[in-house]
Amino acid sequence: MDRGVERATTETVIPRYHRALDFDALWREFPPAPDYFNGTYRLSRDELRMMQEERFLRQMARAWQVPFYRRHWSAAGMEPGDVRGLDDLARIPPFSVHDLRVSVTDDPPWADYIGIDPAADAPLPLILQTSGGTTGLPRPMIFAPRDREVMNIITGRRLYMQGVRPFDLVQVALSMGLTNGGVLAREGIWKYTGAIPVMTGSGAQTPTRRQIELLKAWKAKFLIGFPAYLRHMGLVARDELKIDPRELAVKGLIVHLGTDDRPSLEALWGADAYDTYGCNECGTMAAECSHKRGMHVFEDAFVLEVNDPETLQPKREGERGVVFITTLFKYAAPMIRYNMNDITSLASGECPCGSVHRRITGICGRSDNMVKLRGVNVFPEAIGAIIGEDQRSNGEYVCVLERAEGGAETLTVLFETLDRSEPPQAIETELAERLKEALGVRLNVRAVERGGLDHLTGLSQTSKIKRLIDRREPTSS
Ligand SMILES: [Zn+2]
Distance 357 CA to ligand 1 centre (A): 8
Distance 289 CA to ligand 1 centre (A): 5
* % of the chain with per-residue pLDDT over 90: 68
Q: Does residue 109 have a cis peptide bond before it, meaning omega lies within 30 degrees of 0?
A: yes
Distance 359 CA to ligand 1 centre (A): 8
Helix axes 227-235, 208-218, angle to 10 degrees: 80
Distance 40 CA to ligand 1 centre (A): 13
Between CA 31 and CA 36, with CA 32 as vertex, the angle to 5 degrees is 60
Distance 353 CA to ligand 1 centre (A): 4
pTM of the model: 0.85
AA identity, residue 371: V
Distance 355 CA to ligand 1 centre (A): 6
CA dist list (Å): 346 to 47, 127, 324, 369, 429: 20, 33, 12, 21, 36
Q: Does residue 34 have a cis peptide bond before it, meaning omega lies within 30 degrees of 0?
A: yes
Distance 119 CA to ligand 1 centre (A): 46
The counts of H helices and E strands in the chain are 14, 20
pLDDT of residue 477: 35
How many other β-carbons are positioned within 10 Å of the β-carbon of residue 339?
21
Q: What is the mean pLDDT of residues 293-302?
A: 97
Helix (H, G, I), strand (E, B) or coil at 383: helix
47 φ, ψ (degrees, to nearest 5): -65, -40
Tens of pLDDT, residues 124-164:
999 999 877 655 678 889 999 999 999 999 999 999 999 99
Q: Closest Cα partner for 329 from 150, 158, 181?
A: 150
Tens of pLDDT, residues 9-23:
667 889 999 999 999
Tens of pLDDT, residues 185-238:
999 999 999 999 999 998 889 999 999 999 999 999 999 999 989 999 999 999
pLDDT of residue 463: 59
Q: What residues have CB less than 8 Å from 131, skipping those under 6 apart? A: 97, 138, 139, 141, 179, 280
409 neighbors 402 (Cβ within 8 angstroms): yes
Distance 314 CA to ligand 1 centre (A): 23
Measured distance CA(306)–CA(289) in Å, rounded: 20
Tens of pLDDT, residues 166-185:
999 999 999 888 889 999 99
Tens of pLDDT, residues 311-346:
999 999 999 999 999 999 999 999 999 999 999 999
89 neighbors 312 (Cβ within 8 angstroms): no
Banded pLDDT at 1 (limits 50, 70, 90): very low
- The residue ranges of DSSP E strands in 150-251, in sequence order, are 169-172, 196-198, 222-224
Distance 41 CA to ligand 1 centre (A): 10
AA identity, residue 303: V
Q: Which of 290-294, 389-393, 458-462 has the highest mean pLDDT?
A: 290-294
Distance 184 CA to ligand 1 centre (A): 23
410 neighbors 402 (Cβ within 8 angstroms): yes
Distance 104 CA to ligand 1 centre (A): 39
Decide the pairing of beta strands 196-198 and 222-224: unpaired
Banded pLDDT at 82 (limits 50, 70, 90): very high
Q: What is the mean pLDDT of residues 365-394?
A: 82
CA dist list (Å): 238 to 101, 188, 199, 212, 243: 43, 31, 22, 10, 5
